[in-house]
Structure 1
Amino acid sequence: MAETTAICQAAPDAAAIEAMARAALARIPSPFAEHLADVVLLIEDYADDETLAALGIDEPIDLTGIYHGRPIGEKSSFESGALPDRIHLYRLPILWEWIETGVALDALVHHVVVHEVGHHFGLSDDDMHALEDAAGEETAG
Protein backbone atom coordinates (compact mmCIF):
# COMPACT_ATOMS: atom_id res chain seq x y z
CA MET A 1 0.00 0.00 0.00
CA ALA A 2 1.42 3.36 -0.99
CA GLU A 3 2.01 5.75 1.81
CA THR A 4 0.50 9.20 1.36
CA THR A 5 1.83 12.33 2.91
CA ALA A 6 -0.57 15.08 3.78
CA ILE A 7 0.82 18.48 3.10
CA CYS A 8 -0.22 20.95 5.74
CA GLN A 9 0.80 24.47 5.04
CA ALA A 10 0.55 27.15 7.70
CA ALA A 11 -1.35 30.29 6.83
CA PRO A 12 0.94 33.14 5.81
CA ASP A 13 1.92 35.17 8.84
CA ALA A 14 1.96 38.95 9.22
CA ALA A 15 5.53 39.15 7.91
CA ALA A 16 4.56 37.35 4.69
CA ILE A 17 1.55 39.63 4.15
CA GLU A 18 3.75 42.66 4.86
CA ALA A 19 6.32 41.51 2.30
CA MET A 20 3.57 41.20 -0.33
CA ALA A 21 2.19 44.62 0.63
CA ARG A 22 5.63 46.25 0.42
CA ALA A 23 6.13 44.67 -3.00
CA ALA A 24 2.76 46.13 -4.07
CA LEU A 25 3.79 49.57 -2.77
CA ALA A 26 7.08 49.29 -4.66
CA ARG A 27 5.11 48.84 -7.90
CA ILE A 28 3.16 52.10 -7.45
CA PRO A 29 4.39 54.35 -10.28
CA SER A 30 5.75 57.88 -10.07
CA PRO A 31 4.63 60.52 -9.27
CA PHE A 32 2.35 58.69 -6.81
CA ALA A 33 5.18 56.74 -5.18
CA GLU A 34 6.87 59.91 -3.95
CA HIS A 35 3.82 60.69 -1.83
CA LEU A 36 3.89 57.33 -0.06
CA ALA A 37 7.30 57.51 1.62
CA ASP A 38 5.87 58.60 4.98
CA VAL A 39 2.83 56.31 5.01
CA VAL A 40 3.11 53.67 7.73
CA LEU A 41 2.10 50.11 6.80
CA LEU A 42 0.59 48.02 9.61
CA ILE A 43 -0.47 44.37 9.45
CA GLU A 44 -2.90 43.17 12.11
CA ASP A 45 -5.07 40.08 12.37
CA TYR A 46 -8.34 42.05 12.58
CA ALA A 47 -9.54 45.65 12.86
CA ASP A 48 -10.14 46.83 16.40
CA ASP A 49 -13.67 47.30 17.76
CA GLU A 50 -13.44 51.10 17.52
CA THR A 51 -12.60 50.98 13.80
CA LEU A 52 -15.36 48.48 13.08
CA ALA A 53 -17.91 50.54 15.02
CA ALA A 54 -16.89 53.76 13.24
CA LEU A 55 -17.47 52.05 9.89
CA GLY A 56 -20.69 50.32 10.94
CA ILE A 57 -19.18 46.89 10.32
CA ASP A 58 -20.46 44.07 12.52
CA GLU A 59 -18.18 41.26 11.34
CA PRO A 60 -14.40 41.81 11.55
CA ILE A 61 -13.94 39.36 8.66
CA ASP A 62 -15.59 41.93 6.36
CA LEU A 63 -12.75 44.49 6.54
CA THR A 64 -9.50 43.67 4.72
CA GLY A 65 -7.86 47.07 5.02
CA ILE A 66 -8.30 50.73 5.84
CA TYR A 67 -6.49 54.00 5.32
CA HIS A 68 -6.19 56.29 8.34
CA GLY A 69 -5.11 59.82 7.62
CA ARG A 70 -5.96 62.87 5.60
CA PRO A 71 -5.96 62.56 1.82
CA ILE A 72 -3.12 64.46 0.15
CA GLY A 73 -5.42 67.11 -1.28
CA GLU A 74 -6.69 67.98 2.21
CA LYS A 75 -3.28 68.36 3.85
CA SER A 76 -1.80 71.69 4.86
CA SER A 77 1.83 72.61 5.44
CA PHE A 78 0.65 74.37 8.62
CA GLU A 79 -0.42 71.11 10.29
CA SER A 80 1.85 69.72 12.95
CA GLY A 81 1.63 67.03 15.56
CA ALA A 82 -0.71 64.82 13.53
CA LEU A 83 -0.21 61.07 13.46
CA PRO A 84 1.38 59.79 10.25
CA ASP A 85 -0.91 58.43 7.56
CA ARG A 86 -1.36 54.68 7.98
CA ILE A 87 -2.51 51.80 5.87
CA HIS A 88 -3.81 48.92 7.99
CA LEU A 89 -4.13 45.51 6.36
CA TYR A 90 -6.05 42.84 8.21
CA ARG A 91 -4.45 39.45 7.72
CA LEU A 92 -7.28 37.08 8.64
CA PRO A 93 -9.97 38.77 6.50
CA ILE A 94 -7.48 38.83 3.60
CA LEU A 95 -6.79 35.13 4.07
CA TRP A 96 -10.52 34.42 4.28
CA GLU A 97 -11.14 36.27 1.01
CA TRP A 98 -8.19 34.43 -0.55
CA ILE A 99 -9.75 31.08 0.37
CA GLU A 100 -13.25 32.14 -0.68
CA THR A 101 -12.28 33.64 -4.06
CA GLY A 102 -9.29 31.57 -5.15
CA VAL A 103 -7.52 34.76 -6.24
CA ALA A 104 -3.74 34.54 -5.87
CA LEU A 105 -2.78 35.88 -2.45
CA ASP A 106 -0.20 38.34 -3.75
CA ALA A 107 -2.77 39.70 -6.26
CA LEU A 108 -5.34 40.08 -3.50
CA VAL A 109 -2.89 41.89 -1.21
CA HIS A 110 -1.91 44.12 -4.16
CA HIS A 111 -5.58 44.95 -4.75
CA VAL A 112 -6.17 45.88 -1.10
CA VAL A 113 -2.99 47.98 -0.96
CA VAL A 114 -3.84 49.86 -4.15
CA HIS A 115 -7.36 50.45 -2.84
CA GLU A 116 -6.05 51.96 0.40
CA VAL A 117 -3.45 54.01 -1.48
CA GLY A 118 -6.36 55.36 -3.52
CA HIS A 119 -7.88 56.68 -0.29
CA HIS A 120 -4.52 58.35 0.50
CA PHE A 121 -4.96 60.27 -2.75
CA GLY A 122 -8.55 61.17 -1.90
CA LEU A 123 -10.37 58.74 -4.20
CA SER A 124 -13.72 57.40 -3.07
CA ASP A 125 -14.66 53.72 -3.24
CA ASP A 126 -16.91 54.54 -6.22
CA ASP A 127 -14.01 56.31 -8.00
CA MET A 128 -11.75 53.30 -7.47
CA HIS A 129 -14.37 50.83 -8.67
CA ALA A 130 -14.91 52.94 -11.80
CA LEU A 131 -11.15 52.99 -12.45
CA GLU A 132 -10.91 49.23 -11.93
CA ASP A 133 -13.87 48.65 -14.27
CA ALA A 134 -12.32 50.92 -16.92
CA ALA A 135 -8.98 49.13 -16.61
CA GLY A 136 -10.76 45.78 -16.98
CA GLU A 137 -12.51 46.98 -20.14
CA GLU A 138 -9.19 48.18 -21.61
CA THR A 139 -7.51 44.82 -21.03
CA ALA A 140 -10.53 42.91 -22.36
CA GLY A 141 -10.82 45.04 -25.50
Structure 2
Amino acid sequence: MIELEQKDFEELVLVALVTLPDQFRTALKNIDVVVEDFPPMDVLKRTGVANGYGLLGLYQGVPLRDRGPHYSGTLPDKISVFKVPLESSVDTVDELMPLVQHVVLHELGHYFGLSDEEMRESRGDLH
Protein backbone atom coordinates (compact mmCIF):
# COMPACT_ATOMS: atom_id res chain seq x y z
CA MET A 1 0.00 0.00 0.00
CA ILE A 2 1.14 3.52 -0.73
CA GLU A 3 -0.14 6.87 0.50
CA LEU A 4 0.04 10.00 -1.64
CA GLU A 5 -0.71 13.55 -0.68
CA GLN A 6 -4.19 14.57 -1.87
CA LYS A 7 -2.80 16.98 -4.49
CA ASP A 8 -0.47 14.30 -5.89
CA PHE A 9 -3.31 11.81 -6.21
CA GLU A 10 -5.52 14.45 -7.85
CA GLU A 11 -2.69 15.06 -10.32
CA LEU A 12 -2.82 11.37 -11.35
CA VAL A 13 -6.55 11.70 -12.00
CA LEU A 14 -5.99 14.89 -13.98
CA VAL A 15 -3.33 13.18 -16.10
CA ALA A 16 -5.77 10.33 -16.79
CA LEU A 17 -8.32 12.88 -18.03
CA VAL A 18 -6.05 15.10 -20.13
CA THR A 19 -4.46 12.12 -21.87
CA LEU A 20 -7.81 10.87 -23.14
CA PRO A 21 -8.15 10.91 -26.93
CA ASP A 22 -9.54 14.26 -28.13
CA GLN A 23 -12.86 12.81 -29.33
CA PHE A 24 -13.62 11.57 -25.80
CA ARG A 25 -12.25 14.54 -23.87
CA THR A 26 -14.20 17.06 -25.97
CA ALA A 27 -17.39 15.02 -25.57
CA LEU A 28 -17.41 15.45 -21.79
CA LYS A 29 -20.36 17.68 -20.91
CA ASN A 30 -21.90 18.43 -17.52
CA ILE A 31 -19.69 16.06 -15.53
CA ASP A 32 -17.47 16.44 -12.48
CA VAL A 33 -14.63 14.10 -11.60
CA VAL A 34 -13.82 14.11 -7.90
CA VAL A 35 -11.43 12.31 -5.58
CA GLU A 36 -12.89 10.90 -2.37
CA ASP A 37 -11.09 8.86 0.28
CA PHE A 38 -13.74 6.11 0.47
CA PRO A 39 -17.18 5.46 -0.99
CA PRO A 40 -19.97 6.65 1.33
CA MET A 41 -21.98 4.00 3.20
CA ASP A 42 -25.14 4.67 1.17
CA VAL A 43 -23.18 3.97 -2.03
CA LEU A 44 -21.85 0.69 -0.60
CA LYS A 45 -25.37 -0.37 0.36
CA ARG A 46 -26.81 0.62 -3.03
CA THR A 47 -24.06 -1.15 -4.99
CA GLY A 48 -23.95 -4.22 -2.75
CA VAL A 49 -20.22 -3.84 -2.12
CA ALA A 50 -19.30 -5.30 1.26
CA ASN A 51 -16.65 -2.76 2.28
CA GLY A 52 -15.08 0.49 1.12
CA TYR A 53 -12.02 -1.24 -0.29
CA GLY A 54 -14.08 -3.13 -2.86
CA LEU A 55 -15.07 -0.07 -4.91
CA LEU A 56 -12.42 1.91 -6.78
CA GLY A 57 -14.63 4.32 -8.69
CA LEU A 58 -18.26 5.17 -9.36
CA TYR A 59 -20.27 6.95 -12.05
CA GLN A 60 -23.51 8.64 -11.00
CA GLY A 61 -25.73 10.42 -13.48
CA VAL A 62 -27.56 10.20 -16.79
CA PRO A 63 -25.42 8.51 -19.45
CA LEU A 64 -24.71 10.65 -22.48
CA ARG A 65 -26.56 8.33 -24.87
CA ASP A 66 -29.68 8.49 -22.67
CA ARG A 67 -29.91 12.27 -22.62
CA GLY A 68 -32.82 13.43 -24.71
CA PRO A 69 -33.75 16.83 -26.10
CA HIS A 70 -35.19 17.89 -22.75
CA TYR A 71 -31.99 17.23 -20.81
CA SER A 72 -31.02 20.58 -19.35
CA GLY A 73 -30.73 22.42 -16.08
CA THR A 74 -29.55 19.34 -14.21
CA LEU A 75 -26.70 19.02 -11.76
CA PRO A 76 -23.51 17.62 -13.27
CA ASP A 77 -22.99 13.89 -13.45
CA LYS A 78 -20.28 12.70 -11.11
CA ILE A 79 -17.37 10.32 -11.34
CA SER A 80 -15.85 9.52 -7.97
CA VAL A 81 -12.36 8.06 -7.80
CA PHE A 82 -11.73 6.47 -4.41
CA LYS A 83 -8.20 7.27 -3.21
CA VAL A 84 -7.62 4.87 -0.29
CA PRO A 85 -8.93 1.70 -2.01
CA LEU A 86 -6.78 2.50 -5.05
CA GLU A 87 -3.68 3.20 -2.97
CA SER A 88 -4.19 -0.02 -1.02
CA SER A 89 -4.27 -2.02 -4.27
CA VAL A 90 -0.67 -1.26 -5.24
CA ASP A 91 2.85 -1.01 -3.84
CA THR A 92 4.29 1.78 -6.01
CA VAL A 93 3.22 4.96 -7.79
CA ASP A 94 4.29 3.29 -11.04
CA GLU A 95 1.59 0.67 -10.42
CA LEU A 96 -0.95 3.27 -9.29
CA MET A 97 -0.97 5.42 -12.43
CA PRO A 98 -2.24 2.73 -14.83
CA LEU A 99 -4.82 1.63 -12.25
CA VAL A 100 -6.13 5.20 -11.88
CA GLN A 101 -6.26 5.50 -15.69
CA HIS A 102 -8.14 2.20 -15.87
CA VAL A 103 -10.72 3.30 -13.27
CA VAL A 104 -11.24 6.71 -14.89
CA LEU A 105 -11.66 5.08 -18.31
CA HIS A 106 -14.08 2.51 -16.91
CA GLU A 107 -16.28 5.15 -15.25
CA LEU A 108 -16.19 7.28 -18.40
CA GLY A 109 -17.45 4.21 -20.25
CA HIS A 110 -20.54 4.35 -18.04
CA TYR A 111 -20.85 8.09 -18.73
CA PHE A 112 -20.93 7.30 -22.45
CA GLY A 113 -23.63 4.69 -21.75
CA LEU A 114 -21.68 1.45 -21.85
CA SER A 115 -22.46 -1.39 -19.46
CA ASP A 116 -19.75 -3.40 -17.73
CA GLU A 117 -20.44 -6.24 -20.17
CA GLU A 118 -20.14 -3.97 -23.22
CA MET A 119 -16.81 -2.65 -21.93
CA ARG A 120 -15.48 -6.16 -21.37
CA GLU A 121 -16.52 -7.18 -24.89
CA SER A 122 -15.12 -4.12 -26.65
CA ARG A 123 -11.88 -3.37 -24.75
CA GLY A 124 -11.05 -6.39 -22.68
CA ASP A 125 -11.90 -6.62 -19.01
CA LEU A 126 -12.29 -3.01 -17.86
CA HIS A 127 -14.24 -4.04 -14.80
TM-score by length of 1: 0.79
Does 2:18 match 1:21? no
- Secondary structure, counterpart of 1:42 in structure 2: strand
Gapped runs of 5+ residues in structure 2?
none
Give the gaps of 5 or more residues in structure 1. 1-9, 135-141
Q: 1:88 aligns with which of 76, 80, 87?
A: 80
Higher relative contact order, structure no. (Cα contacts within 8 Å, ≥ 6 residues apart): 2
Deviations 1:20-63 (A, max 9, x none): 11111111113221122532111111000111111011111000
The alpha carbon displacement at 1:133 in A equals 2.4
TM-score (norm 2): 0.87
Matches of 1:15 and 1:43, distance apart in 2: 10
Q: Aligned to 1:76, what secondary structure does the other structure show?
A: coil
* Aligned-pair identity (%): 31
Q: How do residues 89-108 of structure 1 correspond to structure 2 at under 5 angstroms? A: 89-99=81-91, 104-108=95-99
Q: Does 1:47 align with 2:42?
A: no
Q: CA deviation at 1:128?
A: 1.5
Q: Please tell me the residue identity of whatever aligns with 1:81.
A: G
Contact 2:32 2:76 in 1 (8 A): yes
Q: State how far apart, in whole Å, the 1-side matches of 2:36 and 2:99 are.
A: 16
CA gap of 1:103–1:53, structure 2 versus 1, over 3 A, is farther
- Gap change, CA 1:22 and 1:102, over 3 Å in 2: closer
Could you say what the CA RMSD is over the residues aligned between the two structures, in angstroms?
A: 2.1
Deviates more, 1:37-46 or 1:107-116: 37-46
Kindly state the Cα deviation for residue 127 of structure 1 after the two structures are TM-superposed.
Answer: 1.6
Q: Which residue of 2 aligns with 1:130?
A: 121
Match for residue 120 of structure 1 among 105, 111, 125: 111
Q: Kindly tell me: are residues 30 and 47 of structure 1, through their superposed partners in 2, closer, same or farther at Cα, counting changes over 3 Å?
A: same
Q: Which amino acid aligns with 2:67?
A: K
Contact 2:30 2:75 in 1 (8 A): no
Cα distance, 1:103 vs. partner? 6.6
Q: Give the 3-state SS of the residue equivalent to 2:86 in structure 1.
A: helix
